[in-house]
Structure 1
């Protein structure tokens, strides 16, 4: 039995097979995850890195459930877990509050746990639910900043935790046989629908109204609750899509956001609200490691289309438009009626765009009116019209999470960025060939028989 922290009167080690009532689904899932995490250092490293805690070879990771505080004022408060990280020199601890299924975090409950953490010298509170955030230090609940001066508040979504486990499995990051078995079992457990782990599956209820308003050419307002709800849903979907793509490619996929917006969730929400109102578009940028370029995603509310694209620089060692285009087409072996190529021209010359299938037969169709120009870059797009499905809360998410992986399989996985070849060595002035010399220049050698 591991030693309990001084501020606890009782508590159990997180159990792989918790003995709990059927109604304690949240505690059961939390206990199983925490128990496995303490036994797999690679998992603990990945998960706890989101809180800024480093797990080394000699670090002890302990997890407890059913914790009861010694202080009488807190005796009736029962968080779902406690993590204690001991490096030998320092100790870091965090209370765990978990929700499962469609249960969202309770603001008053989370605030109470933060207050307890402050009083007991606990470093952080970690909430876990099916709610999505862009970063672990962004919380779905808003608490007074003064309350968080001495206690950090972090949030993990269950899908994020499940994706971390999947990626570790794909990358064979766990060598130990027993640990690998535990990780595989945890993956199966979290993937089962009965567990209550849910992905983001639908836009806000107001999404249909927004789509209809744009179709009716009605003016949207930034102060509208419908617009704000739709913008918040898109940000949640962006995060879920990153996790979906991470599972698809077997490595971490991130969204690319301006630093000032990344640090300020409220500003990020305002930016998406402005995008809906001013352009009737929702956009995101994803980064897959070692990909030729970032992947741009756009949901066009007015046209009811979803487009995914990548942009690459054209090879400057090829002088004609046809040669540069053929370089691109050779990397994209499959035709798809949804895929287009947009040529980017120098100066003020507007881009030209044609279907990839047509360009294979007639590459000259991409040429601009000025025949002397050659493109400096290409944008490869997949554009799909969704029609009525675009206005569906659930169907639009289903289609986005189908289209983006399809684009990656057809384009992203095959596209390579052009790289200039290394410069050829400069030829030094060589000595004259003996055959080019006059006999007088050869000296004594010129009199050879």
Structure 2
């Protein structure tokens, strides 16, 4: 038998998973076991929630008594360092299973009674922004116990970043973390990708096409939230490929008051049939913005770039074009001059390559900002696959980063050069003066001893 048909032994096998309960139990046990075995990974997942940098202990299906009944949370994490101890209960869902408010509130009561610090939930549900929880619970139960949520896609992203980019000191622990990554990437693990725009997607899209969408429609906030969740997922996905944290670009107010962001997106969708979100990529020339136009069925990604602060307008345009030598000719370029009002100049890259002046409105004005944009067709289906909206957004973001953003560098002025020493012409010997007045200083007077000797 050829060795190519042999299956490698895996630390966490996907074979033998029968049903949702077994899938959930195996995923929970695998994750918690690797958190305790790989110190750097356990630290990366618990530190954001207030855990100290100590030894991570993990347990599954720990029994607790609350009132007259018993409860079995999926897991428990304990981190101890010196006299300080941090403990969190864990509730896990896999596949399409969703978290239940009644169950979470019961676990919050247990955590409060036991003096635990937090309840951490893990599922395939992705809130629109980090810090939000996908399940509404009684806020009074959060006074003593914190409630945190980690999507499975974020767990996978943290694992990949730690192993491939940030590093694991022990080679055996790195191999263990790699086994968890392989398991979570397998379809049978139950750690699914973002796969559904939600039940409100089709009604919203149809209302946009008919021109009847209103901001007060009950379906609009859900569709807007799913779009933000999709862009957040796209950032996690892109971050795994780049080895860095790619996060939504939100204002401080939007981060502290998520409703402000939702209301703004609802208003934009109802008035312009578009939704816009941005991703902040460390080291990139600017934020990557993506706009979905539901009426035109188009996805547009763009980045704003500051123009050089010196040189003629054509020189500044050529500086940008040179960096886009491998970009598609359908990329759209826009330019704005300093103190200009209204729209700037816009033209396709293939035109600007041959005629840089096409991007210059008034040669007498100084160009200050460029916008580089790429438009593609948007899918309409709410799920995944060919013709799906989700895939069209993910592909548009990945392609725009690969073809445009990663090749752009911000302009930097040339470093100042040292002033060269002035060269002086030699003076002819005949012109050298021997008069006393030409001496640099008077001769020192002879001392009394010298005079007596004379």
Q: TM-score, normalised by structure 2?
A: 0.86
Residue 255 of structure 1: CA displacement?
Answer: 0.7
Output the CA distance in 2 between the equivalents of 1:245 and 1:36.
24
Within-5 A mapping of 1:100-119:
100-119=94-113
Within-5 A mapping of 1:322-341:
322-341=314-333
Residue 29 of structure 1: CA displacement?
Answer: 0.5
What is residue 37 of structure 1 aligned with on the other side? 35
Residue 257 of structure 1: CA displacement?
Answer: 0.6
Residue 288 of structure 1: CA displacement?
Answer: 1.1
1:342 to 319, 324, 334: 334
Output the CA distance in 2 between the equivalents of 1:74 and 1:337.
70
Q: Are 1:249 and 2:247 an aligned pair?
A: no
What is residue 63 of structure 1 aligned with on the other side? 58
Contact 1:50 1:136 in 2 (8 A): no
What is residue 71 of structure 2 aligned with on the other side? 77
Moved over 6 A (4+): 15-21
What is residue 25 of structure 1 aligned with on the other side? 23
5+ residue gaps, structure 1: 1-14
| Structure 2 CA distance for partners of 1:444 and 1:392, relative to 1, 3 Å | farther
What is the DSSP-based 3-state SS (H/G/I as helix, E as strand, rest coil) of the residue aligned with 2:283? coil
Residue by residue over 1:146-194, the C-alpha shift from the partner in whole angstroms, topping out at 9 and shown as x without a partner, is 2111100001111110111111222151131111111111110000001
What is the DSSP-based 3-state SS (H/G/I as helix, E as strand, rest coil) of the residue aligned with 2:67? helix
1:151 to 126, 145, 152: 145
Residue by residue over 1:81-112, the C-alpha shift from the partner in whole angstroms, topping out at 9 and shown as x without a partner, is 00011112211101111111000000000001
What is residue 263 of structure 2 aligned with on the other side? 270
2:371 to 371, 374, 379: 379
Contact 1:36 1:183 in 2 (8 A): yes
Within-5 A mapping of 1:271-420:
271-318=264-311, 320-349=312-341, 350-368=343-361, 370-386=362-378, 389-390=379-380, 392-394=382-384, 395-420=388-413
Contact 2:13 2:183 in 1 (8 A): no
What is residue 201 of structure 1 aligned with on the other side? 195
Contact 2:129 2:229 in 1 (8 A): no
User: Which protein shows a greater Rg?
Assistant: 2
Contact 1:16 1:36 in 2 (8 A): no
How large is the RMSD of aligned CA atoms in angstroms?
2.8
Output the CA distance in 2 between the equivalents of 1:194 and 1:258.
38
Residue by residue over 1:262-286, the C-alpha shift from the partner in whole angstroms, topping out at 9 and shown as x without a partner, is 1223333222212212332211111
Contact 1:159 1:199 in 2 (8 A): yes
Q: TM-score, normalised by structure 1?
A: 0.87
| Structure 2 CA distance for partners of 1:426 and 1:64, relative to 1, 3 Å | same
